[in-house]
A and B are shown apart, each in its own frame.
Chain A
């Protein structure tokens, strides 16, 4: 079980968190004309890197904040965690 540092609450076990996917994906702005392929990239296409990955987690059984976690997908090493706005 991973041990994740919530930037708001401190070190907490993984079972307090929910995984939220790739943190580098940016939602296209509202009301902006974009191509089908741009939109499909946003909705469906995700990289599955071996190694460093910036990802979203939500501290659902804690402060309910969405946070960013820089994690190695191979070794599970967590390098750093960030608040949503960081």
Chain B
């Protein structure tokens, strides 16, 4: 067997299936079922990275989600992922991983020079050093920190993987499949509840995979298999492995990330890489278990120092031994379990127990196996740089303050156990204020705030018997509340080893004259001395100490470091831990990829794309599209080598000279019906609506209650109690909500109904001097003369066998009609118009030409109705009724709104008649005045007037009505332009409006 640290038997790996992989360019192999960590350890690789601040060598510390060290850059199927925990990454054929945070390589790292200067990098170093001078920050500090800080590199390529989101509802969500999760899931499922059981790891069973216990007449592993297969066969249960419930949000909404493909060489077709589940659970059972705490001693970050539970997991799950001369350093019975596993596999461990007279079954078992045990002993410091070579150990006095009999013992790994910390993260996220348990020296969940119950070791229950009792009970009771069933499963009998009390001691004092670094946070390099310094400098709140020292702020969120940090603060401050309190747990429990959070809403899927029924025609005819809200609209139709400017000019000119057609399907349309419809419109719009005759349209302006213009558009009276309202494309949804608000809440006595019909109608605006001639040819049986269908008239007609609605309204200022047909006939209508219009020189025009046409006519649009202007500002005061009340009217009396020099819309023409004025330019008197140059107004919209063949802009300017004829400057600092301009009327073309009435 070529793997030096692999056992011949044991574990759940498949020794028949070899898997080859590369780490830092070197080829290795492992087995199916390995993690990257277990495979590397089996191959004797213990150096996997460098620490964050001092670039000290880093190995493996845990075997799962709590891992602070073994973070790698993963390469999979031409993609790369940073910050992958080697302890979680399952091995697949062809896996490639590299160390992070080291340069040029992990064995010789230049950054490690920090290690020799570490006296210069104490707590708060960044705050203290990089304060001044300011210019140094950009030039020197930031680039250096950027290069030195952080783990891994994000891929700069677009992520080709597919991520999905899923919504699910259940009675009980159970987070974790250890003994407590399995028991509560089983009890609840058998009682008829809809259950989701989520397990983060690939294998179910949690601690049952690594402890020698019996449940009923089966081993823990057998029992797990039985329960899981039974649960999987039940239709009311969803069982998921590789699924981390990482966030607990309001109203029992939990989010789970399912990793479907990360363990495979590449994602299979039609399968997402990861799936994010939004789960609304009636009840949540938190069975997330507990994480072993480290013991703190000198150089306790040396590769080879790891959690005793991790060492046991490598043996029991992967058949891998982490060392051949193990030192077990423990303050409780858990360390003995690991020692026994080593011994059973032919390796002699040495156990150092901090307690002075521990007695229990498991210690007796260890003794009977002839395991060497030293009580009242501690590790003073680990020795060795890239791997543990030996340890200085010592006897410790009963008051735990004095060391004696210091000696050096050879060892190649140090397995530490400082007792167990319940994983209360989810409970805490749900709002549960935790409480400190003196018995286990850790926080446990207190009173539930949401519908959440914690069971098992996550609650601080560490015997299997109690765990099962408690979990079966919880699963049954909670399911009974929901299903009203009464099918109770009896709790199976248990055989387990009894443990005795742990020792509260956790931090080994320094021997006289020694200054070993004793680390608390292994990822952020926070040592005991850093916390002590922060406290000496006056930091008291644990939240401040955390930020100042960065304790627990690394990607592992302090899963192994938080509690020891709190213990230290409480020791130094002479307080008890509950007085110190703990920092807030926030989601996510473990890092989640941005891809999973974003899901499928990527690129063009980040919002829906709406297309008009004529979209394909536009595409075929070289339309260049523009986003208008969520709609795609033709901006212009490209002919030959034309650019935007040339094409839109041609299109607009053709409207002024012949006839053009524009797709206006995107306009918001609202159908309004009911006997009180006229009264309602009269309250919604600023102008009068009670006397609008049937078959007539009217332009209207609506305000918000604060007097600001909300939207404008035409509304047509179709029949006695039926109106058709149009809104701007952008405001359609807001206007509908606005109308519903007043009808449902403010004036429920009005008998009116509103409904959006935007998608029901396809619209074509036919505009230009030839438009009537064209219309007559489209509606041959209809009299469309100026007398029969005057400006603002409405009629219906037969359009080649289809019913069409004809509105004589105009946005372009030309003689114009809008023809609407049912959406499905939109393309038919459009093609007919183009075909029949040929003889009148018809051309389609896009939004750019449409803008040109409305700007030179002085018609306002979104750029003027910008949420800051009132009717007066837009020269719409003629539409404001003095006689009746309407929404927002009372606000129009405000002093600011009736100021004599109130802003008003004007036209702007450059004196040279050549230079286009950038939109957003400021209008000022003196372009060279001292800054801030007093601003008179701003340019809201610009075009090239096709009527006069020179640039023309609209602007909203202070005292606008008295500014006509004045010369000002338009400044655009962005485009570095200063243009001498003249202020003219906003109605640049056809100010009397003769054309629309012609």
Real binding pair:
yes
Proximity bits, B732-744, A CB within 8 Å = 1, else 0:
0000010011001
A68 to B186, CA, bound (A): 40
Chain A residues, CB < 8 A from B449: 75
CA distance A85 to B884 in the complex (A): 27
Residue from A18, A31, A66 in contact with B885 in the complex, judged by beta carbons closer than 8 Å: A31
> Shortest Cβ distance from A72 into chain B, in angstroms?
11
Of listed A2, A27, A30, residue having the most chain B CB within 10 A: A30
In angstroms, Cα B884 to Cα A1, docked, is: 44
For chain B, residues 732 to 776, give those with C-beta under 8 angstroms from any C-beta of chain A: 737, 740-741, 744-746, 748
Residues of chain B within 8 A (CB-CB) of A27 are: 705, 746
Find out whether the CB atom of B745 lies under 8 angstroms from the CB atom of A56: yes
Question: What is the CA–CA distance of A61 and B741 in the complex, to the nearest angstrom?
Answer: 15
Q: How far is the CA of A13 from the CA of B253 in the complex (A)?
A: 9
Does any Cβ of A come within 8 Å of B219's Cβ?
A: no
CB distance from A41 to the nearest CB of B (A): 12
Q: Are A43 and B251 in contact (CB under 8 A)?
A: no
Contacts of A58 in B (CB 8 A): 737, 740-741
**What residue of chain A has the Cβ atom nearest to residue B169's Cβ?**
A11
Cα–Cα distance between A68 and B966 once the two chains are bound (Å):
54
Closest to B746 in A: A27
**Do A2 and B890 contact each other (CB < 8 Å), given the known contacts A13-B280, A65-B744, A85-B748?**
no
Q: How far is the CA of A15 from the CA of B901 in the complex (A)?
A: 45
Q: How far is the CA of A39 from the CA of B705 in the complex (A)?
A: 10
Q: Does B706 contact A (CB under 8 A)?
A: yes
Q: Does A79 contact B (CB under 8 A)?
A: no
Question: Within B148-190, which residues are at the interface with A (CB < 8 Å)?
Answer: 167
Q: When the two chains form their complex, are residues A75 and B278 in contact, meaning their CB atoms are under 8 A apart?
A: no
Kindly state whether residue B56 has any CB partner on chain A within 8 Å.
no
Q: Is B431 an interface residue (CB 8 A)?
A: yes
Bound Cα distance from A75 to B252, whole angstroms: 13
How many interface residues does chain A have, given as a range?
A: 20 to 34
The answer to whether A84 touches B706, judged by C-beta atoms less than 8 angstroms apart, is: no
The residue in chain B whose Cβ has the minimal distance to the Cβ of A39 is B890
Instruction: Check: A76 CB closer than 8 A to any chain B CB.
Output: yes
Measured between beta carbons, the chain A residues less than 8 angstroms from B683 are: 30
B249 within 8 A of A: yes
Q: Which residues of B contact A18 (CB under 8 A)?
A: 737
B839 adjacent to chain A (CB < 8 Å): no
Minimum CB–CB distance for A50 against chain B, Å: 16
Distance of A5 from chain B, by nearest CB (Å): 11
Known: A1-B278, A64-B740. Is A84-B705 also a contact (CB below 8 A)?
no
Q: How large is the interface on B (under 10, 10 to 19, 20 to 34, 35 or more residues)?
A: 20 to 34
Q: Tell me if A60 and B737 are in contact (CB < 8 A).
A: yes
Tell me the residues in window 876-896 of chain B with beta carbons closer than 8 Å to chain A beta carbons.
884-885, 890-891, 893
Q: Is B250 an interface residue (CB 8 A)?
A: yes
How long is the Cα–Cα vector from A32 to B250 in the complex, in angstroms?
43
- Asked whether B705 lies within 8 Å of A75 as measured between CB atoms, the reply is no
Assembled-state Cα–Cα distance A85/B737 (Å): 17
Q: Which residues on the A side are within 8 Å of B890 (C-beta)?
A: 28, 34, 39
**Nearest chain B residue, comparing its CB with the CB of A38:** B890
- Which residues does chain A contribute within 8 Å of B253, judged by CB atoms? 1, 3, 13
In the complex the two chains form, is B251's CB within 8 Å of A3's CB?
Answer: yes
Interface string of A10-52 (1 = CB under 8 A from B): 0001000010100000011011001010010011100000000
Residues of A within 8 Å of B167, CB to CB, are 13
Across the interface, name the chain B residue whose C-beta is closest to A29: B885
A44 to B278, CA, bound (A): 37
How close is A56's CB to chain B, nearest CB, in angstroms? 7
Q: Distance in Å from the Cβ of B819 to the closest Cβ of chain A? A: 29
Q: How distant is the Cα of A58 from the Cα of B742 in the complex, in angstroms?
A: 12
A19 to B874 alpha-carbon distance, docked (Å): 30
Give the distance in Å from the alpha carbon of A60 to the alpha carbon of B738 in the complex: 12
Structural contact, A66 and B741, CB atoms closer than 8 A: yes
- Shortest C-beta distance, A58 to chain B (Å), equals 6
Residues of chain A with a CB closer than 8 A to B740's CB: 58, 64, 66
Shortest distance from the beta carbon of A40 to any chain B beta carbon, whole Å:
9
Residues of A within 8 A of B885 (CB): 30-31
Q: Which of B167, B251, B449, B884 has the most CB of A within 10 A?
A: B251
Given known pairs A66-B740, A75-B431, the reply for A43 and B705 (CB within 8 Å) is: yes
Known: A84-B744, A84-B745. A1 touches B706 (CB 8 A): no
Q: Assess whether A43 is in contact with B744, with CB atoms less than 8 Å apart.
A: no
Q: Please measure, in the bound complex, the distance between the C-alpha atom of A18 and the C-alpha atom of B740, giving whole angstroms.
A: 13
Please report which residues of chain B, range 133-155, place their CB below 8 angstroms from some CB of chain A when the two chains form the complex: none
From 220 to 259 in chain B, residues with beta carbon under 8 angstroms from any chain A beta carbon are: 249-253
CB < 8 Å neighbour of A2 from B250, B744, B893: B250
- Within the complex, the shortest CB–CB distance from B704 to chain A, in Å, comes to 9
Shortest CB–CB separation between residue A76 and chain B, in angstroms?
Answer: 5
CB < 8 Å neighbour of A76 from B251, B746, B748: B251
Once the chains bind, are B250 and A76 in contact (CB under 8 Å)? yes
Q: Are A3 and B280 in contact (CB under 8 A)?
A: yes
The listed residue (A1, A66, A75) touching B744 by CB distance below 8 A is: A66
- A56 and B683 alpha carbons, distance in the complex (Å): 22
Within 8 A of A (CB), among B775-819: none
Q: By the criterion CB–CB under 8 Å, are B741 and A20 in contact?
A: yes
In chain B, positions 889-940 with a C-beta closer than 8 Å to chain A are: 890-891, 893
How far apart are B775's CB and chain A's nearest CB, in angstroms?
A: 37
Q: List the A side residues contacting B737 at CB < 8 Å.
A: 18, 58, 60
Task: Identify the closest chain A residue to B280 (Cβ).
Answer: A3
Q: List 23 A-B contacts (CB under 8 A).
A: A1-B249, A1-B251, A2-B251, A13-B253, A13-B280, A18-B737, A27-B705, A27-B746, A28-B890, A30-B683, A30-B885, A31-B885, A42-B705, A43-B705, A58-B741, A64-B740, A66-B740, A66-B745, A75-B431, A76-B251, A78-B251, A84-B745, A84-B748
What are the nearest 4 A-B pairs in CB distance? Answer: A3-B251, A30-B885, A31-B885, A84-B744
If A1-B253, A31-B885, A43-B706 are given as contacts, then 15 extra A-B residue pairs at C-beta distance below 8 Å, sorted by A number, are A1-B250, A2-B251, A3-B250, A3-B251, A3-B252, A3-B280, A13-B253, A30-B683, A36-B893, A58-B741, A60-B737, A64-B740, A76-B250, A78-B251, A85-B748
